[in-house]
Structure 1
Amino acid sequence: MANRKKTGGSRKRNHEPAAVRFGKDKKRGGGPKKRLNSNSSNLGDGTTRLNKFIAHAGVCSRREADELIQLGSITVNGKIITEMGYKVKNTDIIKHEGETLSHNELFYFAINKPKNFNSNCDNPLKERTVGRLVNKATKYILSPIVKLERDSTGILLLTNDNDLYLKLSNPKHEFEKIFQLELDKPLKQEDLEKITQGIRLPSGGWAKAESISYVKGNQHTIGVEILNNKPKILTKIFELLGYKIKKADRVSFAGITKKNLSRGEYRKLSEAEITQLKMLG
C-alpha cells in the first residue's frame, strides 16, 4: 500500500493514462530508438564527494556533512579529512567518530511529485521538498533520478544506489519518458510534425520527440514521448516554436508509471522494476 503524505489542499486521484497512447493524431519520429547501454555508461571517474557519501549513509544532510568534515569528525582510510570537495572511491573506508559508514542497504522509491515541491532530498526537514515527503521511508538520503521542475508534477524515482543514479541521470543517455503537457495555445499540426522531425537548438544540437499526439483531440493538451535526457529539453523545444508549457506531468519514466499513486504518495519499487532499470540498454 502506498504511503500518503500531506501536501496541502485537496488531493484527487489521477487516472489519466499515458497521453501518447490516445487517438489517431499520433505522430512517431523516424529511425530506431536509442536506448541506454549500461555497458558503455559513463560514470565519470568513479568517485563521490565525501559530503554526499556521508549524507547517503544516513548520517545527516549534505550541508551538515560539510560541518562534520570541517570539525575533523570524518576519516578516510584512517586519515582525518577536512578538505571541502574531497572525493572518495568505493574501496575507501570512511568513518564518522570511529563508526564505519556504508551504503550496503539500497532503497528504490517512486513518488508522484506534487506541484510546487522541489525534487531535492538532501534536507528532509526542509518544507515543500520531496525529501520531506519521504523522510520516514528510510534513514538514508535519497537522490532524485532526472529531477522534475518545481512546478512540474508526476513520476519521480528516488534511490541511494549511486551507480544507478549516475547511470540514469547522465544527459548522454536516452530512455523513454512520457509527459502530458498543457500549452498556452493550440499546437499547430505543422509544429507537431516539426517536433517529430527534429528541432535545431541554439546550442547547435538537435532534439525531437519519439511520438507526440493531441489528447482526445484537444490541441492544447499534448502527449509526448521523449528519449532526450537533457534538462528542460521540452521547454526549449516548445519555446523555439513559440509555445509556453503551462503544465507538465510526467506519467511514465523508463516504463515505470504513477498508476495508483495520488499526488504526494510514494511506494517502493518492485524487484522486477529495479531489475528493469538496471538492465536498460
Structure 2
Amino acid sequence: MTNNQERLQKVIAQSGVTSRRKAEELILDGKVKVNGKVVLTLGTKVSPNDKVEVNGVPLEKEPPVYYLLYKPRGVISSVKDDKGRKVVTDLLSDEITERVFPIGRLDYDTSGVILLTNDGEFANLLMHPSHKIDKVYVAKIKGIPTKTELLQLRKGVKSGQDVLKAVQYRIISSDKKANTTLIELTLHQGKNRHVRRMMEEIGYPVQKLKREKFGFLTVEGLTPGEYRPLNPKEIKQMRNLAQ
C-alpha cells in the first residue's frame, strides 16, 4: 500500500461526478469498477494508476479547483439550462478546462458570492445543513416591518411544505418616503428561493437580493461576472468551518 492511495468513494467525489454519500451508494449497487472488476466494499483504496469506472464511464482524474464568482442577476446557477439562458459556467474563461459546477444555488434574479468546484466532496461538505455555515444576504424589501413581524423569521415561517428560518437579521436602513427597508439576513438552510418566499409570507416582498457572504468569503474586489481562484488558506478555512 502506498501513501498516495485514497478511499474509492473519496476519489469519485473529488472527480466531481457526485457526492461521497452518493458514491458509496453507487459502490454498494455494483455500479463501480476498479481495473475492470466490480468493487462492492466501502473503504477500498485506489492509487492514481488504477482505472476507475462509474456506470461504465471511466473516471477522469482532474486536479481539484475552487473558484469564487460574483454572480450577476439574470444568470442561472447551473452548468446548463434547457431554456438556453446564460449559466454561471458561461462566465468562466475558456482556459478553465475542468468540469466545475456551482456549490448550491442562487436564484436567477439574485446576485452575489457563489463557489464553483470540481470537488464533489468539498461541495457536499459545505452544503450539508448540519454544518451550519453562515450565508449572509442583503435584501431590499417593500414596506417597513415591525420588530414583532421580524421575530417570525427566527421562529420559522411556513411556506408550502417548508419551514423557512433566518438565524439572525439586522435592519440596515429604512426609507419611509419610498416605503422600503434594507435588511441583512443570515441563513444556515438553503431552500429554493428561501429569502424571497420567507419575506413574502410575512408580507414584505423582496425587490432586490444579494448574497454578501458564504462563510467568511465575500465578493470584495470583484465586479458582477468576475471570479477568482480560492487560495489554499481559504480552502482549508472553509473545510474547517464545515467540520
State how 1:1-281 maps to structure 2 within 5 Å. Answer: 43-47=20-24, 77=34, 93-94=51-52, 101-121=59-79, 128-196=86-154, 198-202=155-159, 206-218=163-175, 220-280=181-241, 281=243
Asked if the contact 1:122/1:143 (under 8 Å) is kept, the reply is: no
Asked if the contact 2:70/2:111 (under 8 Å) is kept, the reply is: yes
Change (3 A) 1:216 1:203: closer
Asked if the contact 1:174/1:229 (under 8 Å) is kept, the reply is: no
* Code of the aligned partner of 1:230: K
Q: Which runs of 5+ in 1 are unaligned?
A: 1-41, 50-74, 80-88
Deviation at 1:157, TM superposition (A): 0.4
Change (3 A) 1:195 1:100: closer
Instruction: Tell me, in whole angstroms, the C-alpha distance in 2 between the residues paired with 1:259 and 1:107.
Output: 20
SS at match of 2:21: coil
Instruction: Tell me, in whole angstroms, the C-alpha distance in 1 between the residues paired with 2:113 and 2:92.
Output: 14
Which of structures 1 and 2 has the larger relative contact order (alpha carbons within 8 angstroms, sep 6+)?
A: 1
Question: What TM-score results when the alignment is normalised by the length of structure 1?
Answer: 0.62
Instruction: Tell me, in whole angstroms, the C-alpha distance in 1 between the residues paired with 2:136 and 2:112.
Output: 10
Asked if the contact 1:121/1:141 (under 8 Å) is kept, the reply is: no
- Matched length: 204
Instruction: Tell me, in whole angstroms, the C-alpha distance in 1 between the residues paired with 2:142 and 2:157.
Output: 22
Asked if the contact 2:159/2:198 (under 8 Å) is kept, the reply is: no
**Root mean square deviation, CA, Å:** 3.3
Instruction: Tell me, in whole angstroms, the C-alpha distance in 1 between the residues paired with 2:95 and 2:230.
Output: 13
Which consecutive segments of 4 or more residues in structure 1 shift more than 6 A? none
- What does the per-residue CA deviation read over 1:117-162, in whole Å, with 9 as the maximum and x for residues that have no partner? 1111358xx6622111114242111111111011110000000011
Question: What TM-score results when the alignment is normalised by the length of structure 2?
Answer: 0.71
